[in-house]
Amino acid sequence: MYVPLVPDPNRGHGYLDAVARLKSDIKLSEAQAEMDLIARRLEQQFPKTSKGRGINLVPLQDSVVGKFRPALLTLTGAVGFVLLIACANVANLLLARTAVRQKELAVRTTLGASRWRLIRQLLSESVLLALLGGSVGVLLAVWGIDLLVALLHKILPMPRLEAVSIDARVLGFTLLISLLTGLSFGLAPALGASKPDLNESLKEGSRSLAGSLRHTRIRSLLVVSEIALALVLLIGCGLMLKSFLLLRRVDPGLHPENILTLEFSLFESKYSQTRTRAAFFQQVLERLEALPGLQSAAVVADIPLSGYVDSLGFRIEGRVDLAPGEWLSAGFNVVSPNYFHTMSIPLLRGRDFNERDAENALPVIIINQTMARRFWPNEDPIDRRITMDGDRWYSIIGAVGDVRHLGLDTPPRPEAYICYLQDPVLWPYLSLVVRTESDALKLAPAVQGVVWAVDKDQPIANVTTMEQILSTSVAQPRVYLLLLGVFSSIALTLAAVGIYGVMSYSVTQRTHELGIRLALGAHFGDIIKLVVGQGIKLALIGVGIGIASAFALTRLLSSFLYGVKATDPATFVGVSLLLTAVALLACYIPARKAAKVDPLVALRYE
């Protein structure tokens, strides 16, 4: 529904956003320069309300989805890493497969097949595998896209989620990626296998090419790459996990347990006067006092951890260090008596609001601890006075603990609280907060009934709990951690499978050699050390490259981290040890198998 905008005679509110369409031949920088000029003119024309204010042009796309772009790009990079690790695994399998087929390829070459013909055959097989994998991926996406969107709607409301679907662009992208991966990671095995050594390959029982040094180096290089890529993802996940745990430990400044919140928007036509609005909320609060299972109730303009609190300019009485037209800035909230008790916000000094702080009484205000420290660092702020409009002066009667209104990751800023009975306009947009003795949601129907007993037509919105609001405030880092954790787990599994496959294949090719070693007196432990040493060497090289890469790439996560640096030593060391331990286990299994080889069987092995 659209209604015409009624001009506000008070220029100081500043609550509107302007939308404009640029001319086709005008750049954003040119428009910004023109807006800066207009802002300076307004500042000269209205020094009281426009002093220090500017006009900032932001592209609409950046305004809607800009804050999600860095995270989505980071997650896309994580998906790319998982794809590269998976492709490296497939390339390793193709190398092993073509090594086994050397005699077949040598026969084809002898019968007249050209090298290009062999390359086409092998690439066709790898591309077919990639297309089959892409098709299965599309099916999984079709089945899972609705579930993913529904999940994100609940825990992280991103803009335009309803537009996410499998369309021609997604299918085209999947086809392109499948073709590129099939060609890229099938090319190396195809080039190596298309030029067989005919003399060695056609010998009966020949194994020379299967264990060739060139193929061994390529497989080792692929395993090192897998481990390096997996380490980068795991370190990123470790940093996000540590950041999330530190974020959840942040004190929000209140106790969110058993608190129910309900939002109101009073009808302007019905509650146009301050006294009628005050009467409505007073009646609701009085009736709630008699409700069984309810401990206390209050009203507030901006709920903590909601991501918003109103900001106003103010002046301190007796301070002359500001130029004419300049104001200090702080967050301002409108609350009722008993609000701090209901939310368990500690009163550090002075007194709380009470029913005597009415419209005609002396204007009073309560500030938070940060405001007291910043503007009265070495003195008692009680009985000091401030003004928001230059006419009405508020006396500070108390100081309370800091509350995280903008989020757990945002440090507390100066904030002040006004009693809702003394607010000149008594905002119609107030929320009811109720502390209950047990589960807050169970008491929601009864609380709604009390409100409708006062006004049966009053709409109630966003009935929720403070615990849910707290959970929602950390939903974004939780989702990023969840997705990055899934990708990292897949990467770790693929890296372990990759190193296990290479070592297992190496043991198979070296069965004859290992049999000779055992026949000559090598012990169980000697074979274990030999095989594990070879695999752990590759793992350590991969870990070293991964650490160097992570130092450069994890800096991209800095904007998502709280309380932890992107180069946190503990995370780097811990994740490196974890990946090394997994690699050690992946090497030990084929090494144990090799150590149990029967020398008599191994010496006859071909």
Do 404 and 283 share a structural domain? yes
The amino acid occupying position 92 is: N
Q: β-strand 393-400 against 461-465: which pairing, if any?
A: unpaired
Do 539 and 413 share a structural domain? no
Do 242 and 341 share a structural domain? no
Asked whether residue 77 is assigned to any structural domain, the reply reads: no
Do 455 and 522 share a structural domain? no
Final residue belonging to a domain, choices 426, 459, 492: 459
Asked whether residue 202 is assigned to any structural domain, the reply reads: no
Q: What is the DSSP string of 16-76?
A: --------TT--HHHHHHHHHHHHHHHHHH-HHHHTT-------HHHHHHGGGHHHHHHHH
Residue 434 above 90 pLDDT?
yes
Within 8 A by CB and 6+ apart from 65, the residues are 158, 159, 160
Asked whether residue 176 is assigned to any structural domain, the reply reads: no
What span, in angstroms and rounded, lies between the C-alpha atoms of 92 and 87? 9
183-197 tens-digit pLDDT? 877 777 777 666 655
Q: What is the mean pLDDT of the chain?
A: 83
pLDDT at 320: 66
pLDDT at 210: 43
Contact (Cβ atoms closer than 8 angstroms) between residue 455 and residue 250: no
How many percent of the chain have pLDDT more than 70? 88
Final residue belonging to a domain, choices 394, 426, 459: 459
Final residue belonging to a domain, choices 411, 434, 459: 459
455-491: burial string, b at 16+ Cβ within 10 Å, e else: beebeeeebbbbeebbbbbbebbbbbbbbbbebbebb
pLDDT at 529: 83
Contact (Cβ atoms closer than 8 angstroms) between residue 339 and residue 298: yes
Do 339 and 446 share a structural domain? yes
Asked whether residue 196 is assigned to any structural domain, the reply reads: no
Asked whether residue 95 is assigned to any structural domain, the reply reads: no
Do 502 and 398 share a structural domain? no
Do 499 and 423 share a structural domain? no
Structural domain range at position 554: 238-252+476-606
169-185 tens-digit pLDDT? 888 888 888 888 888 77
Do 428 and 511 share a structural domain? no
Residue 585 above 60 pLDDT?
yes
Asked whether residue 109 is assigned to any structural domain, the reply reads: no
Residue 373 or 267, more confident: 373
Q: How many CB atoms lie within 10 A of CB 523?
A: 11
- The two tokens of residue 129 are 């595998």
Do 485 and 447 share a structural domain? no
Residue 200 above 60 pLDDT?
no
20-69 tens-digit pLDDT? 999 988 999 999 999 999 988 988 888 777 777 788 999 988 888 777 78
pLDDT at 606: 47
Using the 8-state DSSP alphabet, how is residue 587 labeled?
A: H
Do 433 and 520 share a structural domain? no
Q: Calculate the alpha carbon distances from 402 to 221, 251, 298, 331, 344 in Å.
A: 54, 9, 18, 12, 12
Tell me the average pLDDT across 130-152: 85
pLDDT at 422: 83
Which of 335-339, 342-346, 517-521 is the least confident region?
517-521
pLDDT at 209: 42
How many percent of the chain have pLDDT more than 90? 20
Tell me the average pLDDT across 10-20: 75
477-514 tens-digit pLDDT? 888 888 888 889 988 888 888 888 877 777 776 777 77
Asked whether residue 97 is assigned to any structural domain, the reply reads: no
Residue 349 or 88, more confident: 349
Domains in the chain, number: 2
Do 540 and 449 share a structural domain? no
Do 282 and 246 share a structural domain? no
Asked whether residue 215 is assigned to any structural domain, the reply reads: no
Three-state secondary structure along 392-457?
CEEEEEEEECCCCCCCCCCCCCCEEEEECCCCCCCCCCCEEEEEECCCHHHHHHHHHHHHHHHCCC
Helix axes 69-100, 475-509, angle to 10 degrees: 10
